[in-house]
Structure 1
C-alpha cells in the first residue's frame, strides 16, 4: 500500500509543477523580425528616422524608438512610441552625437532592436542652399539679399559666385552677411549670382542662377545728353561752314567737280589721221579739176540792180503812153 502511494505522490507533484509552469507569464519573445533598412535622413537640420515595414503575424505592428548620447549608455524613450508610421521626426543639437534604435511590437511579441547612427547633424546632415534669394539693380550697382538655409540659429558663412552672364561666373567672395551690395559694375550689363552656405567645414548645396542687368547712372545720362547736344551743334556749324565755302568758291568747286572734257588718246589719233587724209585729197582735187569763176554779189549791189531795173520799166511805160497819145 505504501509502495502504491509513493508513485501517486510523485505524479501529483509533477502535475502541480506543470500547472504552475502553464499559468506563469510567458517570457518576452523575439518571434517578430527586427526592422530593416533603418536610416537617418537629414536635410537643412530636419531629421527623420525611416525604416522598412515589418510583416505582421496576426494584427497591427507598432514601433517604438529610443535614443542615447554616444558617450552615455542610458537609453531614453523618444516621442515616437507605439506608432504605426514607418518614420519618426526628431530633434537634436547640431554637434551632439547620438544613436537611435527601433523595435517592432505586436501584442506581447517583441522584435530585436535595430540601431542607426551614430549621427551628428552638423556633420551628417545635408545643407541646402540659402532661401528667398532676391537680386535688384540700382544704377551700376546690384543688391543681393537672401535668408539662411534653415531657421535654426547658426553661424553660417556664405560663398557668393558671380560674374557677367556673357562670360563664366569665375569670381567669388566670402561673407557672413545675408545682404551684399556690388558696386561700380559695368552699366547695361547682365550679371549672374549663385550662393552657397557653409557651416564649420561642411559645404551646402549651391543655389540656382539668379541674373540681373545693371542700369545707367544719372551721371551717365547727363554725359550722354551733353554728347548728343554737342554733336548736333557741331553738325550744324559744319553744315553752315560748308555752305559758306560753296558760295565763296563756287567756280573752283565747279571746275573741280566738272573737269574739261578730253577726247581719249586713241580717238584723238584716229581723228588726226583722218584730217591729214582729207587735206591730201582736197589738194589733189584743186590741182587736177577746173571750175567756173564764181562771183559773189553783195546785198548793196543787188539793191542797185533792182533800182535800175525799176527805172527802166518806168521809162518804157512812159514811152508807151506817149505813143498812144
Structure 2
C-alpha cells in the first residue's frame, strides 16, 4: 500500500512538473487558417512576452490515423499544408511553441474544407480596341492544385466598366472569358474591373483597374447607308431605263431600214429586170418619149382579220 502511495506521489509530481513547464512556455497567438487559390496555410503570431525568446514552432495535420507533423522545430510563423491535403478533404490543424526543449499546449483549429474556405485571387485582365469596339480578355488566376474550372465547374465573370472620370458603372455577368463591351463610343477612355463568380455567391478579389482609349470607328452611320442604298437604286433604275430606250429605238430604226413587209414576187422580178436593163439613151432636146404607165395594185393580207384591206398606189 505504501509503495502505491509513493508511486502516485511521484506520478503527480511528474505531471505537475510537465504542467509547470507547459505553463512557462506561452502558446502561439492569433492562430488562423489561410486558403488562397486552393492552398492551405496555417499562420500565427508569436507569444507576447517581455523577453525576446527565440521561439520554435511545430505544426501538425490531423489525418485518418491522428496528427502528423508537417513543420517541426521551425522559426517561421507559417506552415504550408498544401502538398499534404486534397482539394475536397476536411482537415484540422494545430500548432505549439517550443523553447529550450520545453513546449506549450497545442492550439487547435476547427475542421476546415479547402474548397469551401478558399479565396480566389484577382483574374488577369487585358483590353484591346479595334474599329471602335473594346474587347475584354480575362485570364483565370493560377491555382495551386488543378485549375479553377475543374474544381468549381461553370464559373462566370462580373465585369464593371465605366467612362474614365465618371462614377456611373455598368455591370455585366458573362461566362465567356472574352467579352465585347456594349455601347461604347469611339475615341473615349474606358476603365474595366473584373471579379470571378464561383460557388454561386462567392467572388474573387477584384482585378486591378485597367483603362484604354477606344479606337476610332470605321462603321458607316445607318442613315448614310440608307441614303447610299436609295441612290444606288435610282442609278440602277435610270440605267435600266436608258438601256431599254436604246434597245427600243435601235429596233425601231432597224425596222425602218429593213421593214417586215415583203414585196410581191412579180414586183421583185420587175425591179430586178429594170436594174439589169441597159442604161437609157440620152434624150435629145425636142424629142418626146412616150412611156407606158401601168396601174399597180398591192394587196396586203393581215392575219386574224375578217376582211382584206385593199390599197391602190
Q: TM-score, normalised by structure 2?
A: 0.53
Equivalent in the alignment of 2:118: 125
The structure with the largest alpha-carbon Rg is: 1
RMSD: 3.8
Helix, strand or coil for the counterpart of 2:179? strand
Q: Is the 8 A contact 1:149 1:197 kept in 2?
A: no
- Report the CA distance shift for 1:66/1:97 in structure 2 as closer, same or farther (over 3 A): same
Give the Cα–Cα distance (whole angstroms) in 1 for the partners of residues 162 and 33 of structure 2.
38
Name the structure where helix makes up a greater proportion of residues.
1
Residue 76 (str. 1) matches residue 75 (str. 2)? no
Q: Is the 8 A contact 1:169 1:192 kept in 2?
A: no
Q: TM-score, normalised by structure 1?
A: 0.51
Give the Cα–Cα distance (whole angstroms) in 1 for the partners of residues 59 and 167 of structure 2.
53
Give the Cα–Cα distance (whole angstroms) in 2 for the partners of residues 36 and 219 of structure 1.
64
Structure 2: which 5+ runs fail to align?
150-154, 229-313
Q: How does 1:1-325 map to 2 (within 5 A)?
A: 30-31=22-23, 32-54=25-47, 60-68=54-62, 72=64, 74-78=66-70, 80-91=71-82, 92-131=85-124, 133-152=125-144, 153-155=147-149, 156-165=155-164, 166=166, 168-175=168-175, 177-182=176-181, 185-201=184-200, 202-220=202-220
Q: Is the 8 A contact 1:28 1:110 kept in 2?
A: no
- Report the CA distance shift for 1:34/1:219 in structure 2 as closer, same or farther (over 3 A): closer
- Report the CA distance shift for 1:191/1:56 in structure 2 as closer, same or farther (over 3 A): closer
- Report the CA distance shift for 1:56/1:88 in structure 2 as closer, same or farther (over 3 A): farther
- Deviation, 1:82, is 1.2
Q: Is the 8 A contact 2:191 2:211 kept in 1?
A: yes
- Deviation, 1:87, is 1.8
- Could you report, residue by residue, the CA deviation over 1:31-84 in whole angstroms, capped at 9, with x for unpaired residues? 423322211233444443222324599974321111125xx5622221x11112
Tell me the matched-pair count: 201
- Report the CA distance shift for 1:219/1:198 in structure 2 as closer, same or farther (over 3 A): closer
- Could you report, residue by residue, the CA deviation over 1:91-123 in whole angstroms, capped at 9, with x for unpaired residues? 144433211101222344222111123233333
Give the Cα–Cα distance (whole angstroms) in 2 for the partners of residues 140 and 93 of structure 1.
47
Q: Is the 8 A contact 2:193 2:208 kept in 1?
A: yes
- Deviation, 1:138, is 0.5
Helix, strand or coil for the counterpart of 2:115? helix
